[in-house]
Amino acid sequence: MNVLVFFHQLSLSRPDLEQFLQQYAVVPQQLTANFAGEWPTLFTSQFLHGGWWHLISNMVFLWVFGNNIEDRLGHIKYLIFYLSCGALAALCQWFINVNSAIPSLGASGAISGVLGAYLIRFPQSQILSLVFLGFFVTTIRVPAILLIGLFFIQNVISGFAALQTAANMTMETGGVAYWAHIGGFVFGIILSPLFGLFKQD
């Protein structure tokens, strides 16, 4: 779904793309002014992406960490969990700057929730990771708790730093939705027991 929507974005002209994002991404000032009419964007925004790297990096993380959580929950519960984390993540980003005119989009808030769930359910797992040594590429196994922990810490540091510049952001400069990542991760942990992820096989 994410890939199909992205290809649709690529097919649009610049004015049509801007209109498309205004309609389906979370635009904080619009959500603030008309929450009852804009709340669906908390979900539709999760299927939009700002570029190839944004899409590919999200899909890699979803593939690495999401399949185990989906196997554990089943397709329907996983979809509900995923979309719930994404919507709550978007609300966290909205809360940081409720009057921003910059569209917020992407699956990373939902995927951050998956990372939080993965940390709770598979804390002892190791992730096969690529290591680039000049022209050579090798693989090593890295503890999931280390990778996910570094991800969260980096986002917290960057999130607080971004608070200093949030007021000066424009459509052109954009920015990373660090607080969506933080919120998604935290809510992923909070929702995990409600979805039975604390239960052992």
DSSP string, the chain: -HHHHHHHHHHS-HHHHHHHHHHHSB-HHHHHH-HHHHTTHHHHGGG--SSHHHHHHHHHHHHHHHHHHHHHH-HHHHHHHHHHHHHHHHHHHHHH-TT--S-B--SHHHHHHHHHHHHHH-TT-EEEEEEEETTEEEEEEEEHHHHHHHHHHHHHHHHHHHHTTGGG--TTT----HHHHHHHHHHHHHHTGGGTTT---
Decide if 200 is inside a domain: no
Decide if 60 is inside a domain: yes
Percentage of the chain surpassing pLDDT 70? 93
Decide if 41 is inside a domain: yes
Instruction: Look at the chain and report how many structural domains it folds into.
Output: 1
What are the pLDDT digits (tens) for 188-199?
Answer: 999 999 998 876
Decide if 161 is inside a domain: yes
Decide if 86 is inside a domain: yes
Domain holding 75: CATH number?
A: 1.20.1540.10
What are the pLDDT digits (tens) for 53-90?
Answer: 999 999 999 999 999 999 999 999 999 999 999 999 99
Question: Residues 24-53: what's their mean pLDDT?
Answer: 94
Question: Residues 144-161: what's their mean pLDDT?
Answer: 93
Decide if 42 is inside a domain: yes
Is the pLDDT at 130 greater than 80, yes or no?
no
Task: Residue 10: give the domain boundaries.
Answer: 2-195
pTM of the prediction? Answer: 0.89
Decide if 59 is inside a domain: yes
Decide if 101 is inside a domain: yes
**pLDDT value, residue 201:** 56
